[in-house]
């Protein structure tokens, strides 16, 4: 585990696990790197996995860069170069998928293959209402309350029947507690303020979209005011889509074995002629 300082003065905490082609994980809007705590040990069997905390999250210092998602993508681009890397695979989930989308659209030269899971390019009105309750909870009750609220929307119903459910919820509360509420609110507002749909057509890297069948946060096919996988899955030239059954928004936690299998097969597949 190490830190690196970016040109903007932010100090980014990261860790590298495993060996092979580099695979960068970009976390969601409250977890920090622990968003991938179940997936990383599986993916590290085949790749060098790079987990990190965005500025304002977990153990990193500084704030999200100005410019919303574009500014945060620029921070990730600087982070990649600070590690001495020029090209790598990227898997972003939820908010991290939106950052990954911006990264791939604006800096295509650094992306080998792209995995994006559980996100909307434009939030529908239901998603905006949901996130407004999370912002109020962050301001009034703290990040553990946000963890509980997002868990209600983030996991499938069957998840709560599993013996490991309570331990996972406790881990979420702990991970969320390491996040600055102001950074969480800023990231949420960045999502809501912009329509990222025009960027989808700029993706040139081979892309895998993974959705959860019971994802109530960022559904495969949102209401007409939103834009999700159903609206843009055919816009990316080299794209495939998988929907995991009996799975919610937090698919990298709920079905890590299946997610790791899908990512491995996609990233290690020989390039088409």
Q: What is the pLDDT of residue 29?
A: 87
CA 93 from centre of chain:
2
Q: Is the pTM of this model over 0.75?
A: yes
- pLDDT value for 191: 84
CA 194 from centroid of its chain's CA atoms = 17
Give me the pLDDT at residue 96, please: 96
Residue 271 is classified by DSSP as P
Q: Residue 244 in contact with residue 255, Cβ under 8 Å?
A: yes
| Cα distance between residue 246 and residue 212, in whole Å | 7
Q: 10 Å Cβ neighbour count for 160?
A: 13
Other CB atoms within 10 Å distance of the CB of residue 8: 14
Handedness of CA 88, 228, 177, 55 (dihedral sign): positive
Which of 156, 185, 167 has the alpha carbon at shortest distance from 56? 185
What are the residue boundaries of the structural domains of the chain, listed by start? 2-268
Which residue, chain included where needed, has tokens 């950074």? 183
User: In what helix (H) or strand (E) does residue 149 lie, and over which residues does it extend?
Assistant: helix 143-154
Distance of alpha carbon 33 from alpha carbon 25, whole angstroms? 8
Give φ, ψ of 114 to 5 degrees: -125, 130
CATH 3.40.5.90 given to domain 2-268: no
- Mean pLDDT in each 10-residue stretch from start to end of the chain (273 residues)? 94 98 95 95 98 94 91 97 97 97 98 98 95 94 94 94 95 91 88 90 97 96 96 94 97 97 97 66
Q: How far apart are CA 75 and CA 21, in angstroms?
A: 22
- Of 80, 101, 114, 60, nearest to 198 by C-alpha is 101
Tokens of 87: 């090209």
pLDDT in the model for residue 194? 85
Q: Which of 192, 199, 220 shows the shortest CA–CA distance to 118?
A: 220
Q: What angle do CA 55, 73, 13 make, to 5 degrees?
A: 30
Confidence (pLDDT) at 163: 96
Choose among 119, 154, 120: nearest CA to 134.
154
């Amino acid at each position: 585990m190490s830190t690196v300082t970016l040109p903007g003065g932010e100090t980014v905490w990261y860790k590298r696990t495993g060996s092979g082609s580099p695979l960068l994980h970009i976390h969601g809007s409250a977890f920090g790197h622990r968003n991938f705590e179940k997936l990383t040990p599986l993916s590290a069997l085949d790749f060098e996995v790079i987990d990190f905390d965005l500025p304002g999250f977990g153990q990193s210092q500084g704030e999200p860069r100005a410019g919303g998602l574009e500014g945060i993508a620029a921070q990730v681009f600087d982070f990649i170069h600070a590690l001495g890397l020029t090209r790598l695979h990227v898997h972003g989930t939820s908010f991290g998928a939106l950052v990954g989308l911006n990264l791939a659209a604006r800096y295509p030269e650094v992306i080998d293959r792209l995995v994006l899971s559980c996100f909307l390019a434009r939030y529908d009105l239901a998603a905006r209402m949901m996130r407004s309750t999370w912002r109020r909870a962050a301001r009034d009750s703290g990040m553990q309350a946000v963890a509980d609220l997002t868990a209600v929307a983030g996991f499938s119903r069957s998840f709560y029947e599993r013996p490991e459910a309570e331990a996972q919820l406790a881990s979420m509360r702990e991970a969320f507690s390491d996040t600055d509420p102001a950074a969480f609110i800023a990231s949420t507002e960045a999502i809501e303020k912009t329509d990222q749909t025009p960027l989808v057509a700029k993706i040139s890297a081979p892309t895998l979209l993974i959705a959860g069948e019971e994802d109530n946060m960022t559904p495969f096919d949102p209401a007409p005011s939103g834009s999700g996988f159903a609206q843009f899955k055919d816009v990316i030239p080299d794209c495939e889509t998988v929907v995991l059954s009996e799975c919610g928004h937090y698919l990298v936690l709920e079905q890590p074995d299946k997610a790791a299998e899908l990512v491995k097969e996609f990233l290690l597949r020989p390039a088409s002629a």
